[in-house]
Structure 1
Amino acid sequence: MNRRLKNVHWATMRLLLGSVGRLSEGIGIGYRHGFDSGSMLDYVYVNQARGRLGVGRLIDRVYLNAIGWRAIRARRELLKDILRQEITDRAGAIGEPDTSGAAGAVGAVGPTGAAGAEAESGARGAAEPTDPRSSEPGSAGPEPIGNETIGAETVRTENSRSHRQGGSLGRAVPAGSAGRPGPTGPRGSRSAGRARPVAILDVASGPGRYLQDVVEEFASGTVRVECRDLDRAGLAQGERRARERGLTGITYSPGDALDPRPGDPAPDVIVVSGLYELLLDDSVIAASIARLRNMLAPGGVLVFTTQTRHPQLEFIAHVLPNRDGALWVMKCRSVEQAERWATDAGFTRVASRRESVGLFTVTTARN
């Protein structure tokens, strides 16, 4: 297809999506807030087709089944598995199941609680476009990368040696068992082996739906999560949802992921999910990873995501608007590049795992 025909093709697709496509609830959210926004991701996570005039729901189901959104949901599940394992390892042995109700539910999260008064109106993804420095994670069965098998194919990366080193996040775990709570896992009472909760910081969390799911699985006091984002609407959305779920182990506050303030206490785990995929300048990502390493508590781990490929990259770049109203241009990187950022920043144990759809990897980096 020559250049002129391609331009006509993309213009036609923009016209159709911006008119008939808006009968789909999801596509409508994309045009209102940006297809890369926290609102959009939150809708994708719920994965319930909605639309107008009957045909709108059908369009919405096709939209939600797009490979990119399926991979986003798979990425979220892999992240949850990794965090469950990290919390369980750090919190020590867990006793009998908690029978006191929803874990972490000791009252409600107020709009001016630990998140700070500023977070009263803050949260990504609910009512207004978000900043490019904001993002949130996404399904089943994480697949290891390195000297491990992905389906029938073996993939080797330059840091595959890390899979043979210690640390639960550096080990490849069979799908369905990685970080899965066992009889002594989440929803139990904490042992006395740890003086404080496991501290997790997500620097570009949006509403943090997946983080709330993780907090809810553990006994009160086991884990404390801080969600930061530049989009106050998304933060407010997450805070309202946490209050409705009765969760007090999670707080929300405004923050710039690329210029983060130190955590108090220093976080055991820092998460960066769905942000680096939106940045086109590799040097900005490298600087971010180095900065976050200095914020970790001793023995802490950085968890970040990378998009390694996307078959609809050209379509997205010519048709879908981002949160700023410009066309949504993304840049894919190899897992080798992602791991090199981590080792260049000073991390010595680096490992990556691919979500089941195969578009994203989740890299864990520790000293």
Structure 2
Amino acid sequence: MYNNTQHTFTSHDGTALFYQHWENPNLKKNRKKKAIILFHRGHEHSGRMAHLVEELNLPDFDFFAWDARGHGNSPGERGDAPSFSACVQDIQYFVQHLQSNYNIQSENIAIVAQSVGAVLAATWVHDYAPKIRALCLASPAFDIKLYVPFAKPGLTLMSKLGGNFFINSYVKAKMLTHDQERAKSYDTDPKIARAISVRMLLGLYAASARIVDDAQNIFVPTQILSSGSDFVVQQKPQRDFYQKLPHPLKEFHVLDGFYHDTLGEKDRKIATDKIHRFITQCFSRPYAAPNLLHADKIGPSCAVAENLSSTLPKHSLKHAFWEATKKNLKLGSLFSKGLKIGEDTGYDSGSTLDFVYRNTSESKNPIGKIIDRQYLNAIGWRGIRVRKQNIEHMLTQYATKLKNSQQALRIMDIAAGHGRYILDAVAQLPEQADSILLRDYSPINVQAGQEMIQQRGLAHIAQFIEADAFNTQSLAAVEPKPTLAVVSGLYELFSDNDLLRNSLAGLSQAIESNGYLIYTGQIWHPQQEFIARALTSHREGDAWVMRLRSQAEMDALVEQAGFKKVDQVIDEFGIFTVSVAQKI
């Protein structure tokens, strides 16, 4: 019934990954295409999902399935990848490829994913906030049963001491399915990769913990099929994940007696019938984007920030703990230059960020140097430096697009801090910008930035002025109109979406048509309470309480202002996103 063709797409690092396409030749060629994307289990490949193309009985859909890097026909050492997050980014590039090459809109896409593939898909939906129609997860591997006591901490320690290494799966085919033919094919398939790298396994655990904890920020209709007799993964995290999902269209099914290979079980028609019904019903109504424009006023992120802003009971253990933590930071600031900058100017100030970007122990004494290094190695600051690299990459990519289309390259950063990250990014451009306008509210930052412009010999094209990033009129009046604007690390500091609306409205008026906006987000942070309870902000020494915006919320605000999101990257920790939107 279907025509099957095989292809490759180029992912974020230039790697060509293999995928298959099944198309029903009886469908009209001018129809609005709908697609099911299949993601295979760990160790396997797209061929192990091919039976679902017929069995799901969805003839109006095109089907696509990839071989994840390190699997099947895709390159890379078997069972390995640069990181788990690199594979999630592969999904983003895969879907972008399908959208552009097959003219498929995101809201006409549904995902069917199993085991490790299900965790990859769920992480992608959480981190990149695609506007897809349905997400069907079969036995998501949020927590693998390792059976060996202290296996995870042991593997973590061994990887730190000896680097990456491989372990072989203990899972036998008879533990995966009651279907004897499928079990036999698993044992004889030369493309099955039985080993998995420790960095991929630990990355899977880290991403799973984050996604299960933050599942309230997945705004897609979701169906979970949980195998009732699964020897491979735990069921509890699957239930925890399901309970936190906010979308009203969600289902959790326990398939009694099923082993881990849910979609390859002997009685898998029970599972495929449920998927068929769920996807059919999700497509029976028009796509509706989640309403997140007022998430600052009501909802989980608002409640968390409100709780972290509240004063703790004076005689409680928590109050005593955080007071002691703040005193330790003040004591440390007597030795550490990094902590001194944070205590004096705020841990979210431009001066602090400039120190983080320099990434050097600058204290004069040995104790201070040790504190500086520990401070700079905090996961948040590591993520900040990756964000800087991602901004540089995106700015280079979209500046080149503008130049290639014969448009002027006029860059504006509305809250540049000292300007180091944007000037570093500009230095990497293949062609010099026509103009660079840096703005910031702080006279200290403006003075430091002006000096940096002079030092780098950019005074003939660059200027740094004192200005308010939330003043709509001030932004709208910028001349000449920028073609590439950057907002980095600003919106994350302010909970109020009205402030962002003011800023984005000004940017929408300022940026030329078809110009680009690069904007950052902070969708999750493992140290949110520590930051709120112990660190001070640049705003008159107030506590630095962050309200974490989901990527879906941030994208909705940008879209409301008249932009269309076209690209995104995220650090490997799942904290900071860098997105690109085009003015429509």
What TM-score, normalized by structure 2, do the two folds share? 0.44
Find the aligned partners of 2:415 and 2:433 in 1 and give their Cα distance.
Answer: 22
1:298 alignment counterpart: 513
Find the aligned partners of 2:335 and 2:565 in 1 and give their Cα distance.
Answer: 48
Matches within 5 A, 1:1-367: 4-92=316-404, 193=406, 197-218=408-429, 221-248=432-459, 249-259=461-471, 260-261=474-475, 262-323=477-538, 324-366=540-582, 367=584
Q: Deviations over 1:229-277 (max 9, x none)?
A: 1111111111112211222332101110000332211110111111111
- Shift of the alpha carbon at 1:365? 1.4
Aligned partner letter, 2:409: V
Aligned partner letter, 2:491: Y
- Shift of the alpha carbon at 1:299? 0.9
- Shift of the alpha carbon at 1:295? 1.4
Q: Does the 8 Å contact 2:412/2:484 carry over to 1?
A: yes
- Shift of the alpha carbon at 1:62? 0.2
Q: Does the 8 Å contact 2:555/2:565 carry over to 1?
A: no
Aligned partner letter, 2:513: P
**Residue aligned with 1:302, SS:** strand
User: Residues 299 and 220 from structure 1, CA distance in 2 versus in 1: closer, same or farther, beyond 3 angstroms?
Assistant: closer
Aligned partner letter, 2:390: L
Aligned partner letter, 1:25: K
User: Residues 39 and 334 from structure 1, CA distance in 2 versus in 1: closer, same or farther, beyond 3 angstroms?
Assistant: same
The farther-off stretch of 6-15 and 52-61 is 52-61
**Residue aligned with 1:201, SS:** strand
Find the aligned partners of 1:222 and 1:279 in 2 and give their Cα distance.
Answer: 30
**Residue aligned with 2:388, SS:** helix
Find the aligned partners of 2:330 and 2:366 in 1 and give their Cα distance.
Answer: 18
How many residues are paired up? 265
User: Residues 15 and 296 from structure 1, CA distance in 2 versus in 1: closer, same or farther, beyond 3 angstroms?
Assistant: same
Find the aligned partners of 1:229 and 1:329 in 2 and give their Cα distance.
Answer: 21
- Shift of the alpha carbon at 1:345? 2.0
Q: Does the 8 Å contact 1:70/1:357 carry over to 2?
A: no
Q: Does the 8 Å contact 1:339/1:351 carry over to 2?
A: no
Q: Does the 8 Å contact 1:200/1:225 carry over to 2?
A: yes
**Residue aligned with 2:552, SS:** helix
Find the aligned partners of 1:364 and 1:220 in 2 and give their Cα distance.
Answer: 20
- Shift of the alpha carbon at 1:326? 1.1
Find the aligned partners of 1:346 and 1:245 in 2 and give their Cα distance.
Answer: 35
- Shift of the alpha carbon at 1:52? 4.2
The farther-off stretch of 215-224 and 256-265 is 215-224
- Shift of the alpha carbon at 1:300? 1.0
User: Residues 329 and 24 from structure 1, CA distance in 2 versus in 1: closer, same or farther, beyond 3 angstroms?
Assistant: same
**Residue aligned with 2:563, SS:** coil
**Residue aligned with 1:86, SS:** helix
Aligned partner letter, 2:351: S
Aligned partner letter, 1:216: A
The farther-off stretch of 271-280 and 347-356 is 347-356
Rg larger in structure: 2
Identity of aligned residues (%): 35
Aligned partner letter, 2:517: L
Q: Does the 8 Å contact 1:206/1:235 carry over to 2?
A: yes
Gaps of 5+ in 2: 1-311
Q: Does the 8 Å contact 2:419/2:449 carry over to 1?
A: yes
User: Residues 360 and 221 from structure 1, CA distance in 2 versus in 1: closer, same or farther, beyond 3 angstroms?
Assistant: closer
Find the aligned partners of 2:561 and 2:568 in 1 and give their Cα distance.
Answer: 16
**Residue aligned with 1:22, SS:** coil
The farther-off stretch of 43-52 and 353-362 is 353-362
Higher relative contact order (CA 8 A, sep 6+): 1
| Root mean square deviation of aligned Cα | 1.9
